Amino acid sequence: MENKTALIIGGSAGSLDVLIRVLPDIDINIQFPIVIVVHRKQGTDSILSDLLATKTTLRVKELEEKETILDGCIYVVPSDYHLLIEKDYTFSLDYSEKVNYSRPSIDVTFQSAADIYKDRLVCLLLSGSNADGVNGLIMVKKMGGKAWVQDPESAQVSYMPAQAILKANIDKVLKIEEMAGYINALTSY
Amino acid sequence: MPHLLSITDDEVEILINDVLDQYGYDFTGYSRASLKRRLVRIYALDKHVSFAEYRYKVINDPIYFKRFVEQITVNVTEMFRDPSFYKALRYKVLPNLGTYPFIRIWLAGCSTGEEAFSMAIVLKELGLLHKSLIYATDINPVVLEKAAEGMFPLSQMKQYSENYIASGGPKDFSSYYSANYAMAKFDPELRKKMIFSTHNLVSDHSFNEFQLILCRNVLIYFDRDLQFKVLQLFDNSLESLGYLALGTKETTDFSPISKNYKRLESEKIWRKTS
């Protein structure tokens, strides 16, 4: 099977502003998908993907279950479902128990993606007030992928990225203005 | 922490085959990512020491296997979950079905019964419960036993009451239950029109004709082929002009039955046109 690359971005409180600042600078020619897992209230799905769509010319959509994952597309996880990745590079949704009081849980998606993409995966954890995503980053590293976090100094809520730095072997700590550059460079990764 | 490395993909396939051979439960059409996550979860919860030991226990201990099935399937549910869905049932679907002399409803994958009791409440408020029958089925006998008791955690009632009000419920939600220690015991009157039974969507056939079939957040755990097969089973079990309701992220689109169904605006409810 060909090796595909993916970027998964996880965030909670304070992460939306980061996405809004970073998306406009992401290269239209990226050769991998970007999947966004953010904690939020139920029933606000299209609002979030519509808002993010105004910040980039890349295609942004709320992902659908069993949808094939396409390069150059930005996918937003629907509220109140966990997102898993299948071996054939399709999405599965899951309504099982909350993890870290969260559904979607960032850990769940990071771990599932690590199982599929292995060393071709990059996960970026942004601002947030709980530790969801930290265990996911640990598994990403175990599978040879890359773990990036937002610089806690630049985060509206520093707890989540700070926990990740404390507990996982982080490859890069990024300021908001550095993120797009590193993401764009992934194309040749 | 349970993580996905404790069982390999090959071992997942071995277990699926064991369970099919030994017990006749067919999980081959289940989405692997969810299934693997559930298998790993049980592995960790039950403190298995190796895959070999886990496998041996599943194959050779029928009592443990019961627990295995309960844990492998997702049984997370709520009363009046997705209030706008129940609003559509209350104002659009059930009033239409109210013109029939008798209403047969199938809740496929009813889990612990929260949906069955929600449905009964709406039917009662519309004056239709006396001529309705709710067939609530699940693959898992353990959850059906719970469902039949009609007792749900009292701690959930605030949320359920909010859902109920948002769905257009006109009454005081607490009038439907009495507090019994940590549980809310629902009015036995609601229970009278429910039939609980095991039914496996993968292997069992159609068992009646219905005017309304609800199967919400079950198909997401199946691969596309099995989704189509189950939708065909629903089609075979639904009267003309009957309604099929799926979860908020599920659809009949792309399936062979879709041409015979017309979707009600905004909700995941389809009406059979022919």
pLDDT tens column, A10-37:
999 999 999 999 999 999 999 999 999 9
Specify the pLDDT at position B85.
Answer: 96
Instruction: Say if B77 falls within a structural domain.
Output: no
Burial class (CB in 10 A: 0-12, 13-18, 19+), A17: middle
Let me know whether B261 and B133 are in one domain. Answer: yes
Let me know whether B192 and B265 are in one domain. Answer: yes
Let me know whether B211 and B263 are in one domain. Answer: yes
Per-residue pLDDT band at A45 (split at 50, 70, 90): low
pLDDT tens column, B171-182:
999 999 999 999
Let me know whether B35 and B108 are in one domain. Answer: no
Instruction: Say if B12 falls within a structural domain.
Output: yes
A129 counts as catalytic: no
The last residue of a domain, from among B72, B101, B119: B72
Let me know whether B246 and B133 are in one domain. Answer: yes
Instruction: Say if B207 falls within a structural domain.
Output: yes
* Chain A environment of B226 (Cβ under 8 Å): none
Let me know whether B51 and B90 are in one domain. Answer: no
Let me know whether B128 and B218 are in one domain. Answer: yes
The Cα of B134 is separated from the nearest Cα of chain A by a number of Å equal to: 24
Let me know whether B91 and B162 are in one domain. Answer: yes
pLDDT tens column, A85-116:
999 999 999 999 999 999 999 999 999 999 99
Specify the pLDDT at position B265.
Answer: 83
Specify the pLDDT at position B6.
Answer: 85
Per-residue pLDDT band at B268 (split at 50, 70, 90): very high
Specify the pLDDT at position A44.
Answer: 60
Domain containing B62: what range? 4-72
Contact B31 A84 (CB under 8 A): yes
* Chain B environment of A145 (Cβ under 8 Å): none
pLDDT tens column, B231-241:
999 999 999 99
Is the per-residue pLDDT at A131 higher than 80? yes
Residues A115-124 have a mean pLDDT of: 96
* Chain A environment of B76 (Cβ under 8 Å): 95-97
Give which of A95, A101, A112, A135 to mutate to test B binding, by max B Cβ within 10 Å: A95
DSSP symbols for A120-153: GEEEEE---SS-TTHHHHHHHHHTT-EEEEE-GG
Q: In terms of CA atoms, which chain A residue is nearest residue B33?
A: A86
Give which of B6, B30, B31, B80 to mutate to test A binding, by max A Cβ within 10 Å: B31
Residue B65 has which token pair? 């296997």
B183-188 LR contacts (CB < 8 Å, sep 24+): B183/B151, B183/B152, B183/B153, B183/B154, B184/B151, B184/B152, B184/B153, B184/B154, B184/B156, B184/B157, B185/B150, B185/B151, B186/B117, B186/B150, B186/B151, B186/B152, B188/B150
Specify the pLDDT at position A183.
Answer: 97
Q: Provide the mean pLDDT of chain B.
A: 95
Let me know whether B63 and B88 are in one domain. Answer: no
* Distances from the Cα of B234 to the Cα of A24, A103, A106, B107, B218, angstroms: 45, 29, 34, 11, 13
Residue B94 belongs to domain with CATH number: 3.40.50.150
Rounded CA-CA distance B88/B92 in Å is 5
Instruction: Say if B78 falls within a structural domain.
Output: no
pLDDT tens column, A64-75:
999 999 999 999
Is the per-residue pLDDT at A133 higher than 90? yes
Contact A96 B34 (CB under 8 A): yes
Contact A92 B34 (CB under 8 A): yes
Class for the domain spanning A6-188: alpha beta
Let me know whether B159 and B195 are in one domain. Answer: yes
Residues B20-42 have a mean pLDDT of: 96
Contact B3 A135 (CB under 8 A): yes
Let me know whether B147 and B223 are in one domain. Answer: yes
Please provide the size of chain B in residues: 274
Per-residue pLDDT band at A40 (split at 50, 70, 90): confident
The last residue of a domain, from among B72, B103, B130: B72
Q: Please count the other Cβ atoms lying within 10 Å of the Cβ belonging to residue B182.
A: 9
Contact B76 A86 (CB under 8 A): no
Instruction: Say if B232 falls within a structural domain.
Output: yes
A39 counts as catalytic: yes
Q: How many domains does chain B have?
A: 2
Specify the pLDDT at position B5.
Answer: 77
Per-residue pLDDT band at A41 (split at 50, 70, 90): confident
Is the per-residue pLDDT at A1 higher than 90? no
Out of A119-123, A127-131, B212-216, B264-268, least confident range: B264-268
Residues B61-85 have a mean pLDDT of: 94
Residues B87-109 have a mean pLDDT of: 97
Let me know whether B34 and B144 are in one domain. Answer: no
* Chain A environment of B227 (Cβ under 8 Å): 66
**Interface of chain A against chain B, CB under 8 Å?**
64-66, 78, 81, 84-87, 92-97, 108, 111-112, 114-116, 135, 139, 142
The last residue of a domain, from among B48, B72, B96: B72
Domain ranges of chain A: 6-188
Specify the pLDDT at position B3.
Answer: 66
**Interface of chain B against chain A, CB under 8 Å?**
1, 3-5, 9, 31-34, 36-38, 74, 76, 217, 220-221, 223-224, 227, 247-251
